[in-house]
Amino acid sequence: MEVHVLQHLPFEAPGSIASWAEARGHQLKVTHLYAGQTVPAADEIRMLIVLGGSMGVNDEADYPWMTDEKKLLRHLLHQTQVPVAGICLGAQLIASCLGQRVFRGPVMEVGWAPLMLTPAAREDRVAWQAGITPLHWHHDTFELPPEAIVLASTPDFSHQAYRWQDRVLGLQFHLEATPAGVEALCAECPQDVQAGVWGQTQAQITNCAIQCVQTQPLLFALLDDLASQAQ
């Protein structure tokens, strides 16, 4: 199956999503929006993954391609049954396209920290591991879309993961993180590391081979679940 990916920045790449696609025999088709590539047509998409980025959901003036990205997302969400996953900015874009407000959160979460799972996560068809500790890299948060189910939170951000209509998944955190990708994030955004509420240093954040291995099974399971719904 061909899986489409929307990438917003050169250093926020698919990471372990590419490993999942290769392991499952899927073809990953990445649209590099930052490089001027146009969004794919809706009827070409059987599954979509929207990656993260440092921009905000309302920054169309600075990133004109975001207008077309939002049009595509609204169409897929409201007029199709295509499975969609959003990571960080992607989760915020989905919430925005479902009519919800995206706004600045109380702190900036940067680094590795555990999730608090909700009862819904324990009943989810994908097994969420207690104590799962992914990479966080965000300041914004969002209102929960109507009928969405919260799966995870942290003390400062109540909406860390959600499902909407079963076929749409929003994750504020980065299960797709790889050591190389984390190195790139730290190199490109050192000011974020300094602003992080947990006070983790660049060395602490980039020393992450074990964490990347530990979070990958959940990523694979969640993407397998969405792929099984593609028509």
Over residues 200-222, the mean pLDDT reads: 98
Q: Is the pLDDT of residue 231 over 90?
A: no
What confidence tens digit (pLDDT) does each residue in 38-64 have?
999 999 999 999 999 999 999 999 999
pLDDT at 21 over 90: yes
Residue 66, token pair as written in the block: 């975001």
Calpha distance 8→131 (Å, rounded): 30
| pTM, rounded to two decimals | 0.98
Q: What is the pLDDT of residues 80-131, one digit of tens each?
A: 999 999 999 999 999 999 999 999 999 999 999 999 999 999 999 999 999 9
The band of 197, judged by pLDDT with boundaries at 50, 70 and 90, is very high
Q: What's the whole-number mean pLDDT along residues 208-231?
A: 97
Residue 12's pLDDT is 97
pLDDT in tens, 141-160: 999 999 999 999 999 999 99
